[in-house]
Amino acid sequence: MIDARRLRTLQAVADHRTVTAAAAALYLTPSAVSQQIAALEQETGHKVLARDNRGARLTPVGEILLRHAGAVIAELERAEAEVAAYTSGAAGEVTVAAFATGISVVLAPAITALGETSPGIRVRVRDVEGDESLPMVLDGRADIAVAVEYRGAPSAGDLRLVRVPLYAEPFDAVLPRRHRLARAGAVPVADLADDLWIGPYPGNPCHDVMVLACEYAGFRPRLAHSSDDFRAVVALAAAGAGVALVPRSALRDMDLSQVAVRPVDGVAATRRVFAAVRCGAEEHPLFRPVLEALSAAAERVPSGDPVTVQGPTGHPAPSQPIGSGIGTTS
């Protein structure tokens, strides 16, 4: 009989491409991962991995096992959820991996609500970039992810994960106060093609949104300055170092007196935020209240009025409706 733990190990190697990376994700040594793979090969009587200078790839038998691994692991998750429900597992720790703005917008309010409705649940927060939380859930390093769409993300149809939509928000243009478009009501992204840009590093989902918005407008942004901290991005824009697209919720409660914040005209960049758990674990008595609290917090996220800032003349900046959004592709 095939050991399900070894299927998890095979899945991690397939996700991370090397034995060493899979071992780090699973908190094992590379030799322990190799031993698990060797045991799986002994159980099946077939090689499941082929190794070369570029890493490890699945053999045809390995691909067959991987296709079944997701269903097997999901059933085990459901079994654990039912056992936990039977023993009324209303107390315990849930690890949630989330990006910084997601923590402040939905996770922190959810924790406050859980203190009233489910005081036995302790939430352990892991602050990670938006593209790191889903792999942490798949590897078992986190129970729930608060994530965003990004290039290379597991697709919405990935059977290993269950998604719960939370909220979507537009990106606003952040300009130096003396920028030629600082007085505009709404800024077409195409009109910023000749500017220097400030934005997150490649790999950050918000970098993908920025690049896609610019590509949709017919150009590739000249990224002169990089930071994953939006306060630093706004400070650089205030210094006249360039222009930026920043998620609307990240701008709230910032000092925006030295920049001009304008809605984006036409097709606007959009960040879509969702929670995710491993398939089969969505009804776990510890996870379900957290997911419900996140959904309730998301319902209270401001729906989209542009951040109110003062224009260069000291009067409120005019605004226009945001167009339909484009997000990152998976």
Q: What is the residue extent of each domain of the chain?
A: 4-84, 89-166+272-299, 168-271+313-326
**Mean pLDDT taken over the chain:** 84
pLDDT at 271: 85
CATH code: domain 89-166+272-299 is: 3.40.190.10
Taking residues 138-166, what's their average pLDDT?
Answer: 88
pLDDT bracket for residue 308 (50, 70, 90): very low
Q: Whole-model pTM?
A: 0.66
Does 168-271+313-326 match 89-166+272-299 at the fold level? yes
**With contact defined as beta carbons under 8 Å apart, do 175 and 259 qualify?**
yes
Q: Strands 244-247 and 161-176, how do they pair?
A: antiparallel
Q: Is the pLDDT of residue 161 over 50?
A: yes
By mean pLDDT, which of 84-93, 94-103, 190-199 is the weakest? 84-93
Number of other residues whose CB lies within 10 A of the CB of residue 312: 14
**With contact defined as beta carbons under 8 Å apart, do 249 and 238 qualify?**
no
Q: What share of the chain in percent tops pLDDT 70?
A: 88
By mean pLDDT, which of 148-152, 219-223, 273-277 is the weakest? 148-152
Angle at the Cα of 328 from the Cα atoms of 327 and 330, rounded to 5 degrees? 135
Distance CA 22, CA 176 (A): 44
pLDDT at 321: 29
What's the CATH class of domain 4-84?
Answer: mainly alpha
Q: Is the pLDDT of residue 111 over 70?
A: yes
Taking residues 58-69, what's their average pLDDT?
Answer: 83
Q: Is the pLDDT of residue 65 over 60?
A: yes
pLDDT at 304: 53
How far from chain centre, in Å, is Cα 158?
15
Taking residues 88-96, what's their average pLDDT?
Answer: 80
Residues 167-209 have pLDDT tens digits of: 988 999 999 999 999 998 899 999 999 999 999 998 888 998 8
Which CATH number applies to 168-271+313-326: 3.40.50.300, 3.90.1150.200, 3.30.540.10, 3.40.190.10? Answer: 3.40.190.10
Q: Strands 268-278 and 325-326, how do they pair?
A: parallel
Residues 25-52 have pLDDT tens digits of: 888 888 888 888 888 888 888 888 887 7
